[in-house]
Amino acid sequence: MTKVAPPLTERQAARIKRLGLLADEPAGLLDAWSDIDVRWSDAVAQAMSLPSDRLETRVNSEWSFIETLRHLIFVTDAWIRDVVLEKRSQYDPIGLAPHFITDRPELDPDARPSLTSVLVARHRRLVEVRDVIAETTLDGLDRCCAAFDGQFTVLGAFQNVIFEEWAHQYYATKDLASLR
């Protein structure tokens, strides 16, 4: 039985478990992250076949493709840099926080970065997450992180990021299909 660590919920865990993305040890987390990377590579390839203005188009009032990538930059900055690595103020200004997070003045929600600059920042984050997972020991996964008053472990942060990446890729791919 794979351990599920908060903030990941049992419901979220069930969704990614069916896809082989739920893990509770470093090797499994690395495999899940590699799968996420492939899924996003495929989504970006699909996106590149569309006219560039479509990548800024919202479908059903959801984030555009570029906004989704910007949000995932924020997710990595928040959960990996801030929570796991405990490096405060490491947020990229092009990151896009959800509407309920208002305490990151360095973020510019109205920014209109190019797809190229977003993809460069995303690539750095994908590599960084892979490297952090690879450097984490089994015992290190149980470490309580200082953020959120220590209520989340490193494992919980990793599982949460994997879920966020999968969920946003799923919806972004669905939206790309409707933009064709």
8-state DSSP, 50: S
10 Å CB burial of residue 164 (0-12, 13-18, 19+) is buried
For the chain, domain boundaries: 25-179
Residue 174 CB partners (closer than 8 Å, separation 6+): none
Mean pLDDT by 10 residues, the chain (180 residues): 94 96 97 98 95 91 94 96 87 92 85 94 97 97 94 97 97 91
pTM recorded for the entire structure = 0.94
* Predicted local distance difference test score (pLDDT) of residue 89: 67
116-128: pLDDT as tens digits: 999 999 999 999 9
Question: Which CATH code of 3.40.50.1470, 3.40.50.261, 1.20.120.450, 3.90.1150.10 fits the domain covering 25-179?
Answer: 1.20.120.450
Reported as a single tens digit per residue, the pLDDT across 94-119 is 999 998 888 888 888 889 999 999 99
Closest among 38, 61, 66 to 51, alpha carbons compared: 66
